[in-house]
Structure 1
Amino acid sequence: MEISGRITKDAVTAKVSNAREVVNFSIAINDSYRPKGSDELKKIVTYIDCSYWMGSKMAQWLKKGTVVELFGRIGLNVYNNAEGKALGSLTFHTSNIKILVFPKTENSSSLPAVQKKNTDQDTPDDLPF
């Protein structure tokens, strides 16, 4: 399954056991629809809790405002609260993360530098059009 959205707050790494760590974060997915018989566009936001078990170093790149594309599966957590009422929540168990857009920050030096390829040599000066 594939979903994409914007990270709502910086990712947090939690130690589960001596050798296991999980990166927890959440994303917001913006959507809109037009109700039947209406000209008004309704906007909705869906928040999804996500977990990433493949490596804790990924947390440094998962900052608030980053747009990501996630691949994985949905998991259901069911439990009884203190009053005995059954509750549940969904978590997207991420197996692959693709960063689409880094957030704009005042100090962008912490983001990786992207080198632009010089294409002047590759483009001929006498184009036929």
Structure 2
Amino acid sequence: MGYDYKKEYIRWKQWKENEEKILRKHHVDELTISDLRKFDLAQFNAERSFKRHQNVTKDIFFTTQPIYDKKEINNIDDILDEIESESLFEYLKKVDPVVLNIIELKIKGYNINEISQILGISISSIYRRIKKVKKFLKK
């Protein structure tokens, strides 16, 4: 059974309208209510995206076993220690430190917008740097 976006959106919208009635009853300003709506909608969309792509009936779901010997990555040195390809290791040692920071943040689960804010560089610059690494990997 797939995720029914329309049904869930209607339920979310009804919940949100009831919540906003209560907030207005308690004299909460409209700007705060608007901010809450935007935040809750973003959370709803994130959950929707997760549920849409989650498929517990795939065969891999039942054969996946936890891996406990995987090293946790906390910094750039941990990333370099895990690389088995000598040419990739040499390339990453010579590459701009910003690229290594991008890779580290990406591995930690940050999205491109968050990485852009953290490092203070443009999104297009991040994509350009990632493209260079991918180009090297294709060789």
TM-score bin, normalised by smaller chain:
under 0.3
Q: Which structure carries more strand by proportion?
A: 1
Q: Which structure carries more helix by proportion?
A: 2
> TM-score of the superposition, structure 1-length normalised?
0.22
> TM-score of the superposition, structure 2-length normalised?
0.21
